[in-house]
């Protein structure tokens, strides 16, 4: 969440004058418990997470504003934060009376049982602040619009500019000149010469998995969005898990921010262990396996521990992903940072776009594009097909999905650098019943990846297809090589 800066004196006077004739959005109870939680548990991880974000002007009540200022002053000086130090800092700032005095400051902690929900509380406080700012900006522009001498286009431009500043995401414009780009290229070339003269490895541009066809056709590189789409239960999550673990095992500079809204972080660990020890994730969860496997499980658990992965398996919005991934990458500046979103349709943005699926598509991809632009990371969102993909007419075309079968608007097809379409035949029961024996077994284990950016055709283009043999129970994927034809 970006720290939005405004003209605070003008903002304060607006609130004072407006409060006489309108009830402005605020959440005083939550303002209270946020400040109380910080004073009671300043060293808790979830409290430390919001301390850099919180600002005095986020708080509507003047006493809360003064207490927050004291907390920020202590935090900026790396001094202890508690009821006594905050009270003393308010006194130094000359704000003790306005902050409610020692008893008022102490009273802020009376409702706090635990600070565990402080991020949720602060999000609501912040949203109320944004709403107040929208009202302030809107009313200012109403006054200007009533003036005959105002230039309508100047007013419109100013209005848009002021509203953009209210965006809680990271909204700085990305500007680069030809001179800057050329300097960056020269720096890279100098680095290659430096490394070559000292027999040092050249920094990777593209990362590979050891699957020849996949490595040839899919570019796993920085500053890209690769969208993976498939029907329900087609193996999207298993496939992305396999890709991530292959990267993490092959390279030491991989960092993954993994938003997993369908599977828990424990499910992902069990999936990794299942692929190594060949015990199903289900048996790992129920602890039903041969005890002789424990040492091997511990060995691979130790390897998993060394991976740089940060999991988020709680509800999150796409506009909250932006600042989180920016911070994630800021802490890992020399690494190949990857954001996995599994999957798009489980993001909390859905509640705001119940009756506007196209608006949802545009909003989510806009924020994922921001992530890519701000971090130069690799963004991999997972997505679903719509119901039409399985209608009888489409099934006549070999059960092969195309780009327009994805849910949502054109944005999902237009924004990514690459779109990978999954075709897993075992999910089509009516198809599977037509085969038996070896043919049935082949379809049961066949997984096809259709690689392309703008594939809308229904023609079998073998150049775009990568075939895998899969064992879903153990998250195992083996690329099937193309037959060699002699000329």
φ, ψ dihedrals at 226, nearest 5°: -120, 110
The answer to whether position 193 is within a domain reads no
Within this chain, do residues 249 and 137 fall inside the same structural domain, yes or no? Answer: no
The answer to whether position 1 is within a domain reads no
The answer to whether position 417 is within a domain reads yes
* Apex 336 CA angle, 333 and 338, nearest 5: 110
Residue 329 CB partners (closer than 8 Å, separation 6+)? 337, 375, 376, 377
Tokens read off for 164: 């953009």
- pLDDT at res. 396: 54
Residues 338, 215: Cα–Cα separation, whole Å: 17
Q: Which range of residues forms the domain containing residue 53?
A: 8-164
CATH of the domain at 54: 1.10.860.10
The answer to whether position 197 is within a domain reads no
Q: Which residue has the higher pLDDT, 301 or 20?
A: 301
The mean pLDDT of 260-275, rounded to a whole number, is: 85
Residues 212, 217: Cα–Cα separation, whole Å: 9
Within this chain, do residues 218 and 358 fall inside the same structural domain, yes or no? Answer: yes
Name which of 139-143, 324-328, 462-466 the model is least confident about: 462-466
The answer to whether position 486 is within a domain reads no
- Crossing angle of helices 265-277 and 236-250, in 10° steps, is 70
Which residue's structure tokens are 């099937």? 480
Within this chain, do residues 224 and 127 fall inside the same structural domain, yes or no? Answer: no
The answer to whether position 192 is within a domain reads no
Within this chain, do residues 155 and 296 fall inside the same structural domain, yes or no? Answer: no
Name which of 242-246, 270-274, 288-292 the model is least confident about: 288-292
Residues 417, 143: Cα–Cα separation, whole Å: 45
Within this chain, do residues 263 and 325 fall inside the same structural domain, yes or no? Answer: yes
For 194-221, write each residue's pLDDT tens digit: 666 666 555 667 899 999 999 988 989 9
For 115-134, write each residue's pLDDT tens digit: 888 888 898 999 899 889 88
Q: Nearest CA to 469 among 438, 444, 445? A: 445
Which residue's structure tokens are 């130090």? 85
Which residue's structure tokens are 């105002």? 150
Calculate what percentage of the chain has a pLDDT beyond 70: 79
Within this chain, do residues 371 and 466 fall inside the same structural domain, yes or no? Answer: yes
Where helices occur in 331-356 by DSSP H, the ranges are none
Q: Of 164, 179, 196, at which residue does a domain stop? A: 164
For 58-113, write each residue's pLDDT tens digit: 999 999 999 999 999 998 888 999 999 999 999 999 999 999 999 999 999 988 88
Within this chain, do residues 323 and 462 fall inside the same structural domain, yes or no? Answer: yes
Tokens read off for 323: 């600042």
Q: Of 134, 164, 194, at which residue does a domain stop? A: 164
Tokens read off for 187: 């720096």
Within this chain, do residues 353 and 210 fall inside the same structural domain, yes or no? Answer: yes
Within this chain, do residues 211 and 126 fall inside the same structural domain, yes or no? Answer: no
Q: Bridge partners of 189?
A: none
Whether 319 and 341 have beta carbons less than 8 Å apart is answered as no
The answer to whether position 121 is within a domain reads yes
Residues 183, 254: Cα–Cα separation, whole Å: 26
Residue/partner pairs of 56-59 with CB below 8 Å, 24 or more apart = 57/6, 57/8, 57/11, 57/129, 58/125, 58/126, 58/129, 59/31, 59/35, 59/125, 59/129
Whether 354 and 344 have beta carbons less than 8 Å apart is answered as no
Q: Which residue has the higher pLDDT, 439 or 83?
A: 83
Within this chain, do residues 115 and 242 fall inside the same structural domain, yes or no? Answer: no
CATH of the domain at 213: 3.40.50.300
Name which of 180-194, 297-311, 373-387 the model is least confident about: 180-194
Q: Of 164, 182, 214, at which residue does a domain stop? A: 164
Within this chain, do residues 39 and 101 fall inside the same structural domain, yes or no? Answer: yes
Which residue's structure tokens are 């259709």? 450
The answer to whether position 169 is within a domain reads no
Q: How many domains does the chain have?
A: 2
Within this chain, do residues 292 and 381 fall inside the same structural domain, yes or no? Answer: yes
- pLDDT at res. 169: 43
10 Å Cβ neighbour count for 87?
A: 20
Calculate what percentage of the chain has a pLDDT beyond 90: 30
């Amino acid at each position: 969440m970006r720290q939005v800066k405004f003209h605070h004196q003008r903002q304060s006077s607006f609130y004072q004058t407006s409060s006489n004739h309108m009830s402005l959005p605020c959440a005083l109870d939550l303002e209270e418990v946020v400040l109380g939680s910080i004073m009671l548990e300043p060293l808790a991880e979830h409290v430390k997470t919001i301390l850099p974000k919180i600002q005095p002007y986020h708080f509507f009540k003047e006493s809360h504003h003064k207490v927050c200022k004291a907390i920020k002053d202590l935090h900026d000086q790396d001094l202890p934060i508690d009821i006594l130090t905050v009270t003393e800092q308010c006194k130094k700032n000359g704000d003790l009376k306005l902050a409610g005095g020692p008893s008022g400051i102490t009273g802020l902690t009376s409702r706090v049982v635990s600070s565990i929900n402080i991020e949720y509380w602060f999000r609501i406080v912040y949203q109320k602040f944004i709403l107040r700012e929208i009202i302030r900006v809107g009313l200012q522009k109403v006054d200007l619009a009533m003036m005959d001498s105002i230039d309508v286009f100047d007013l419109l431009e100013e209005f848009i500019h002021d509203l953009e500043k209210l965006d809680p995401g990271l909204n700085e414009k990305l500007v680069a000149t030809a001179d800057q780009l050329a300097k960056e290229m020269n720096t890279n070339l100098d680095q290659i010469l430096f490394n070559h003269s000292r027999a040092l490895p050249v920094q990777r541009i593209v990362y590979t998995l050891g699957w020849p066809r996949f490595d040839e056709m899919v570019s796993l590189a920085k500053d890209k969005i690769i969208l993976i789409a498939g029907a329900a239960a087609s193996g999207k999550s298993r496939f992305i898990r396999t890709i991530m673990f292959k990267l993490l095992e092959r390279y030491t500079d991989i960092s993954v921010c993994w938003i997993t809204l369908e599977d828990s972080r424990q499910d992902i660990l069990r999936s990794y262990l299942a692929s190594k020890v060949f015990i199903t994730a289900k048996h790992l969860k129920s602890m039903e396996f041969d005890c002789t496997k424990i040492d091997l499980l511990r060995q691979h658990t130790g390897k998993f521990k060394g991976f740089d992965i940060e999991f988020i398996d709680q509800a999150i919005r796409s506009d909250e992903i932006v600042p989180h991934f920016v911070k994630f990458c800021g802490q890992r500046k020399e690494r190949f940072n990857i954001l996995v979103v599994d999957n798009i349709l489980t993001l909390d943005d859905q509640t705001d776009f119940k009756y506007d699926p196209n608006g949802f598509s545009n909003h989510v991809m806009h924020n994922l594009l921001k992530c890519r632009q701000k971090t130069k990371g690799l963004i991999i969102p997972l997505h679903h097909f719509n119901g039409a993909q399985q209608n009888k007419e489409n099934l006549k075309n070999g059960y092969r999905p195309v780009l327009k079968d994805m849910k949502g608007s054109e944005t999902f097809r237009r924004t990514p650098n690459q779109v990978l379409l999954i075709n897993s035949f075992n999910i089509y029961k009516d198809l599977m019943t037509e085969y038996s024996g070896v043919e049935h077994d082949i379809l049961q284990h066949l997984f096809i990846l259709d690689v392309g950016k703008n594939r809308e055709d229904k023609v079998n283009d073998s150049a775009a297809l990568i075939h895998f043999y899969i064992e879903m129970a153990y998250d195992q994927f083996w690329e099937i090589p193309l037959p060699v034809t002699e000329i």
